[in-house]
Amino acid sequence: MTDDRRSAGAPTLEDVARAAGVSRATVSRVINGVRNVDPAIQEVVRQAVSVTGYAPNRAARSLVTRRADAVALVVSGAGVEAESGAGAAAGDGGSFTAQVFADPFFGRVVTGVVDYLRPRGMHPVLMFAETSRDRDEVVGYLRQGSADGALVVSTHAGDPLPGLLAEAGLAAVLFARPARPVPINYVDLAHQDGARLAAEHLLARGCRRLATISGPLDVPAGRARLTGFRDTLARHGHAYTPVAEGRFTQESGEAAMERLLAEHPDLDGVFAANDLMATGACHVLREHGRRVPEDVAVVGFDDSSAALACRPPLTTVRQPVEAMAAEMARLLLDRPTGPSSPATSVIFEPELVVRASA
């Protein structure tokens, strides 16, 4: 009886040790791949492990190693207090999370993060921070040691989360430079260069009456793409560029295109600051009887799945989101963990992808 009184719960190190006739420490060494263990014993232990069906208890391990083998992947929203409380019936553009996933962009971030994490036995815990209460939850979660750090994607300017994280001395990496400087690592894209590529392509194609649908101007990326586009045109002798501001959604892209068309019915080329808005622009152009690209050429930004889904397929500026996301994870985990080490940033270069729309 005394022998298998443990038979109840899951097998523990102790069980394996007994089965293999060695100490817990030795089993632990084998499992963690520590050297200095007799090959013969290693084999015995491995046998015992598979016989008992042992799986190490992660909580126990975390307790002593002080690592969670998990990272928080947080999508951080408005700085304002929406306190919207979610609600099940999300028609569309409804709850924050629904909105987030409407852009194929976020899926690519997940892809990149998972690809980096998985080979390392780590996993992302999904968190959405919209209200200040949510943000406290994220900070609390990390302080509890539930995750080894945070990967944060802000959807709005002036997001307070990066500041809170930095203040609490928690490990974190941002996707994109924060609107206001915060001492945190981040990865970003050379947005201006991307916009320049778009402008040059449109110009080379012969377009002369260009306009742009910008992203939100309080977001650094939105502003940079506009600046890059405008400056390039200016350098080529186009002093004035009509702008309609969008919010990176297809719907806002449609509205912006309507405005642009109303004020400049003769335009022959449009640069939209992301693919979703470019798709919306294409819809509106077609509804107004303009052919894309014959009458009006359209260039998008991101090279997300929306670019391929669009009719015609979008010529766009590729943002290597997956690689950027993987780099975020690397920055978070590979760092010399010194809280004193200066904030690093890694900037990626965009690339023009020519398809049918321009």
List residues binding its own copies (CB under 8 A). 10, 55-60, 62-63, 68, 70, 73, 86-90, 92-93, 95, 97-98, 100-102, 104, 106-108, 110-112, 114-115, 118, 123-128, 140-141, 143-146, 250, 279, 283, 286-287, 303, 305, 307-309, 311, 320, 322-323, 326
* By CB under 7 A, residue 273 contacts DNA: no
Q: Interface mask (CB under 7 A) for DNA, residues 57-96, using x and -?
A: x--xx-xxx-------------------------------
Q: Where are the beta strands (DSSP E) in the chain?
A: 70-76, 123-129, 150-154, 172-175, 185-189, 210-214, 243-245, 269-272, 297-302, 315-318, 345-348, 351-353
Closer to DNA by Cβ: residue 35 or 266: 35
Q: Residue 172: what residue type?
A: A
Binding-site partner at residue 252 among DNA, its own copies, none, CB < 5 to 8 Å by type? none
What x/- string results for residues 38 through 57 when contact with DNA is judged by CB under 7 A?
A: x-xx------------x-xx
CB-based contact 175:186 (threshold 8 Å): yes
Of 313, 320, 298, give the one whose Cα is nearest residue 355.
313
Considering beta carbons, is residue 2 or 340 the nearer one to its own copies?
A: 340
Nearer to its own copies by Cβ, of 34 and 55: the residue is 55
Smaller CB separation from DNA, 23 or 341 = 23
Q: Are 135 and 122 in contact (CB under 8 A)?
A: no
Contact 314, 279 (CB under 8 A): yes
Which region among 27-35, 177-185, 204-212, 290-298 touches DNA (by CB under 7 A)? 27-35
Single-letter residue type at 66: R
d(CA 203, CA 235): 12
> To the nearest whole angstrom, how small is the minimum distance from the Cβ of residue 45 to DNA?
9
Q: Which of 5, 7, 9, 339 binds DNA (CB under 7 A)?
A: 9
CB of 8 to its own copies, least distance (A): 12
Residue pair 13/27 in contact by the 8 Å Cβ criterion: yes
Identify the CA nearest to 15 among candidates 66, 61, 58, 50: 50
Nearer to DNA, 13 or 255 (CB): 13
Residue 41 or 352 having the CB closest to DNA? 41
CB atoms within 10 A of CB 1: 4
In the list its own copies, DNA, none, the entry touching 347 (Cβ below 5 to 8 angstroms by class) is: none
For the bound state, the minimum distance from the C-beta of residue 132 to DNA, rounded and expressed in Å, comes to 24
CA dist 66 and 197 (Å) reads 47
Answer whether 150's CB lies under 8 Å from 72's CB. yes
Find the shortest distance in angstroms from Cβ 140 to DNA.
12
Report residue 125: phi and psi, to 5°. Answer: -105, 125
243-245/210-214 β-pairing: parallel
Through-space distance between the first and last CA atoms of the chain, rounded to whole angstroms: 78
Q: Is 207 helix (H, G, I), strand (E, B) or coil?
A: coil
Binding site for DNA (CB under 7 A): 9-10, 12-14, 21-26, 28-29, 31-32, 35-38, 40-41, 54, 56-57, 60-61, 63-65
